[in-house]
Amino acid sequence: MAALDLFGRRWNLRVVWELQHGPVGFRDLRQRCDNMSSSVLRQRLTELLDAQLVVQQPDAAYTLTDLGRGVYQALRPLARWSDAWASALGKDGKD
């Protein structure tokens, strides 16, 4: 279950999620990830680069590979479920 080991580490899924719309530079990616520390972001990017889910472009921006886009596609149903769950919790909290 190498995927669970990789994505069980804090921030790895978040980095993939933030790269869904295209290349992002290090500084912008750090801001999108709630200003996580630079050292943690470097570690997570290294893990995702080693797993061939992310590549660094010549302009230094990071982007998803085809494999990385596959992970994002796999997350879409979870995101839809999460939206429904949040809505249900908000509705239940008001009743």
C-alpha of 55 from chain center: 14
Given a cut of 80, is residue 7 above it in pLDDT? yes
Q: What is the pLDDT of residues 14-50, one digit of tens each?
A: 999 999 999 999 999 999 999 999 999 999 999 999 9
Q: 12 and 6 in contact (C-beta within 8 Å)?
A: yes
* Beta carbons within 8 Å of 53's beta carbon, 6+ residues apart: 16, 64, 65, 67, 68, 71
CA 89 to chain centre: 24
pTM of the model: 0.81
Q: What angle do CA 57, 5, 47 make, to 5 degrees?
A: 20
- The per-residue pLDDT for 91 is 64
- Which residues lie below 8 Å from residue 57, measured CB to CB, with a gap of 6+? 23, 63
| Ranges assigned E (strand) in 1-95 | 54-56, 62-64
Per-residue pLDDT, 72 = 82
Q: Band of the pLDDT at 1, cuts 50, 70, 90?
A: low
Domains and CATH numbers, the chain: 2-94 (1.10.10.10)
Mean pLDDT over each residue of the chain, to the nearest integer: 90
Residue linked to tokens 């230094």: 60
